[in-house]
């Protein structure tokens, strides 16, 4: 394995692995599937590196890869089944996530359930954008780089998504 590729790969992993994992989690609601998607994302990024493709924006590339993987999965209907399974486990009380000081397991489960309920009111793109903006903490400019659009367009879509949520809630 070429050392310079390996260094770039490990740097990117250290910097983005947790964020990509979290993004995947909030798109599939399964810890195991989120880990698999995160790993596959980095495998594909590695292929970009060794193929000599120019990576100008590593963060945007990783989100684009993971987003495409999730779209592929949802086309195969696995995401819907995974979400249904995760929600069932949650209701059964067997669903757990890494600990977060200050919140009980019950509070965490309730919060995850509420987020899931909110997100399912929206289209796939709107879910992506709201997860990236408010859970991942990306700026409209960073999201625009992922979607190949303008920050203004992203801001408008965030506004519309929140408005749509308001209509439902």
Owner of token pair 């990783």: 62
**Per rule CB under 8 A, count of chain residues that contact another protein:** 41
- 54 vs 99 by CB, closer to another protein: 99
- The answer to whether residue 38 forms part of the interface with another protein (CB under 8 A) is yes
Minimum distance of another protein from residue 83's CB (angstroms): 13
Q: Residue from 21, 63, 95, 147 that binds another protein (CB under 8 A)?
A: 21
- What region, left, alpha or beta, does residue 137 occupy, with left being phi > 0 and alpha being psi -120 to 50 degrees? left
Interface with another protein, residue 97, by CB under 8 A:
yes
From the list 9-17, 51-59, 67-75, 138-146, the region that binds another protein by CB under 8 A is 9-17
Residue 50 beta carbon to another protein: minimum distance, rounded to whole angstroms: 8
Q: How many CB atoms lie within 10 A of CB 80?
A: 12
Regarding 52 and contact with another protein (CB under 8 A), the answer is no
Convert residues 134-153 into a mask of x (bound to another protein by CB under 8 A) and - (unbound).
xxxx----------------
Distance spanning both ends of the chain, measured CA to CA: 52
Q: List Cα–Cα distances, 61 to 5, 56, 68, 104, in angstroms.
A: 16, 8, 11, 35
How far does CA 84 lie from the centroid of its chain? 18
Query: How crowded is residue 88: how many other Cβ atoms within 10 Å of its Cβ?
Result: 11
Question: One symbol per residue from 75 to 94: x for binding another protein (CB under 8 A), - otherwise; what is it?
Answer: --------------------
């Amino acid at each position: 394995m070429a050392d310079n590729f390996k260094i770039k790969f490990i740097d990117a992993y250290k910097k983005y692995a947790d964020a990509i994992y979290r993004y995947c989690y909030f798109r599939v609601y399964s810890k195991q599937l989120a880990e698999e998607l995160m790993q596959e994302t980095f495998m594909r990024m590695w292929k970009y590196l060794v193929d000599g493709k120019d990576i100008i924006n590593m963060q945007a590339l990783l989100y684009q890869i993971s987003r495409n993987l999730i779209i592929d999965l949802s086309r195969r209907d696995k995401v819907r089944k995974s979400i249904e399974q995760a929600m069932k486990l949650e209701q059964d009380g067997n669903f757990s996530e890494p600990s977060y000081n200050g919140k009980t397991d019950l509070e965490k489960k309730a919060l995850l359930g509420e987020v899931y309920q909110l997100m399912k009111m929206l289209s796939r793109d709107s879910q992506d954008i709201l997860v990236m903006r408010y859970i991942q903490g990306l700026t409209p400019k960073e999201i625009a780089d992922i979607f190949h659009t303008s920050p203004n367009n992203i801001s408008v879509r965030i506004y519309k998504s929140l408005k749509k949520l308001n209509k439902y809630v």
